Copies of this chain bind each other. A is one copy, B any other.
Amino acid sequence: MSETVRELSVQLGDRSYPIMIGEGLLEARDLTPFVTGSQVMVVTNDTVAPLYLDKARGCFPGKQVHSVILPDGEQFKEWQTLNRIFDGLLEQQHTRKTTVVALGGGVVGDMAGFAAACYQRGVPFIQIPTTLLSQVDSSVGGKTGINHPLGKNMIGAFYQPKAVLIDTRTLQTLPPREVSAGLAEIIKYGLIRDTGFLAWLEDNMEALVALQPAELAEAIYRSCACKAEVVALDEREGGIRAILNLGHTFGHAIETYAGYGNWLHGEAVGTGMLMAAELSCLEGMISRADCDRVRRLVARAGLPEKPPVGMTADDFMKLMAVDKKNVDGQLRLVLLKAVGDAFVTSDADPDNLATTFSRFCTPAA
């Protein structure tokens, strides 16, 4: 095991924290050094609990450990379900010295993190992400929150964990679609600012799809390191951090159109990145060959290459207009100046945007 353990420190001044990555860590690590009080509340869902809840409890020897098991699914990322965490904390009389632990994917992490941010105005928080997407996305950045009927992630907080533990062995039980969804975000890091990593991914995509532990640990480490660099430059998302949203504006529109939970977030981001690459090509910034290179890598990761059948340009425009990345009503998009160099613009040519939609949208039969 030891040869594949990697550790990364996310540098945020007095809120810096470690990310520990390796195979079998859930059975090997004592997390009590990151717990200040005597109480721990593990938040998980009904898919993850039978697989890993007992192992996660084992990370906190000598502590009083309770758990809240939420229903699994993005559709439950809303207030009523969040409130079950508060119910559990209050029923078990957890004080403001309790530690909340998120055990699961991005939805569990977002909800447990937001609950930790709000419970008694903020208690410590530890993440044990068990999906590839959450390992490379939610581990860094401190974004937590829930959805509102009128928009995704509209209610939340920036809140940093005390530590993140990533056990790559948890990926063995992950459905292949979710592995692909995680790979979409991993590809994104290569595309936005790390051509070396992008080339590495082109060499190792099959090993990642086959869940080879050493390659997984490397890809997760490099993804988290890339995101940590960007976030350290811009913790509260005023500037450069926006490049992390490559593919997300198109992607959020796809997710909303399909209905929460029908398309995985990473799947929508995968298609969204292809649309962003196409628009970048039409804008004359990247070559057609670069555009194809992105498409091949996304395809090898097992990701969809088109939006849902029947989704139109109008659907996109309407759904993108309420995306929160828009400042004062302007449509802001992340595009590629080059492969490995993303930037934010409000100046995409509307004709090129229309052409992008026409090339990607498939009319209903």
Residue positions of A touching B, CB distance < 8 A: 37-38, 79, 83, 86-87, 90-91, 93, 95-97, 117-122, 143-145, 148, 150-151, 153-158, 236, 321-322, 324, 326-329
Asked whether, in the complex, the Cβ of A121 is within 8 Å of the Cβ of B158, the reply is yes
Given contacts A83-B79, A90-B150, contact A118 B324 (CB under 8 A): no
- The complex places the Cα of A231 from the Cα of B324 at a distance, in Å, of 33
- The complex places the Cα of A324 from the Cα of B86 at a distance, in Å, of 14
- The complex places the Cα of A155 from the Cα of B146 at a distance, in Å, of 14
Question: How many copies of the shown chain assemble into the complex?
Answer: 2
Asked whether, in the complex, the Cβ of A122 is within 8 Å of the Cβ of B236, the reply is yes
Which B residues touch A37, using CB under 8 A?
A: 328
Quick one: which of B143, B153, B156, B328 contacts A38, CB cutoff 8 A? B328
Asked whether, in the complex, the Cβ of A95 is within 8 Å of the Cβ of B324, the reply is yes
Asked whether, in the complex, the Cβ of B120 is within 8 Å of the Cβ of A324, the reply is yes
Asked whether, in the complex, the Cβ of B154 is within 8 Å of the Cβ of A95, the reply is no
Asked whether, in the complex, the Cβ of A327 is within 8 Å of the Cβ of B155, the reply is no
- The complex places the Cα of A144 from the Cα of B117 at a distance, in Å, of 12
| Nearest neighbor of A158 in chain B, beta-carbon distance | B121
Asked whether, in the complex, the Cβ of A119 is within 8 Å of the Cβ of B155, the reply is yes
Among all A-B residue pairs, the 9 with the closest Cβ atoms: A90-B150, A121-B156, A118-B155, A120-B324, A121-B158, A86-B148, A121-B157, A96-B324, A79-B79
Which B residues touch A151, using CB under 8 A?
A: 90
Which B residues touch A327, using CB under 8 A?
A: 95-97
- The complex places the Cα of A90 from the Cα of B93 at a distance, in Å, of 35
**Helix, strand, loop or mixed for chain A's interface?**
mixed
- The complex places the Cα of A38 from the Cα of B95 at a distance, in Å, of 41
Asked whether, in the complex, the Cβ of B97 is within 8 Å of the Cβ of A328, the reply is yes
Which B residues touch A90, using CB under 8 A?
A: 148, 150-151, 154, 322
Given contacts A86-B148, A122-B236, A157-B157, 18 further A-B contacts (CB under 8 A): A38-B328, A79-B79, A83-B148, A90-B150, A90-B151, A90-B322, A93-B321, A93-B329, A95-B327, A95-B328, A118-B157, A120-B154, A120-B324, A121-B144, A121-B153, A121-B156, A121-B157, A121-B158
- The complex places the Cα of A144 from the Cα of B157 at a distance, in Å, of 13
| Nearest neighbor of A325 in chain B, beta-carbon distance | B96
| 21 intermolecular pairs with C-beta atoms under 8 Å apart | A79-B83, A83-B148, A86-B148, A90-B154, A90-B322, A91-B150, A93-B321, A93-B322, A93-B329, A95-B324, A95-B326, A95-B327, A95-B328, A96-B324, A97-B327, A117-B157, A118-B145, A118-B155, A121-B145, A121-B153, A122-B157
- The complex places the Cα of A90 from the Cα of B121 at a distance, in Å, of 24
- The complex places the Cα of A117 from the Cα of B145 at a distance, in Å, of 11
- The complex places the Cα of A324 from the Cα of B122 at a distance, in Å, of 12
Which B residues touch A119, using CB under 8 A?
A: 154-155
- The complex places the Cα of A95 from the Cα of B97 at a distance, in Å, of 35
Which B residues touch A153, using CB under 8 A?
A: 121
- The complex places the Cα of A236 from the Cα of B122 at a distance, in Å, of 9
Which B residues touch A154, using CB under 8 A?
A: 86, 90, 119-120
| Nearest neighbor of A38 in chain B, beta-carbon distance | B328
| Nearest neighbor of A150 in chain B, beta-carbon distance | B90
Which B residues touch A121, using CB under 8 A?
A: 143-145, 153, 156-158
- The complex places the Cα of A158 from the Cα of B159 at a distance, in Å, of 12
What is the minimal beta-carbon distance from A198 to any residue of chain B, in angstroms?
30
What is the minimal beta-carbon distance from A155 to any residue of chain B, in angstroms?
5
Asked whether, in the complex, the Cβ of A158 is within 8 Å of the Cβ of B122, the reply is yes
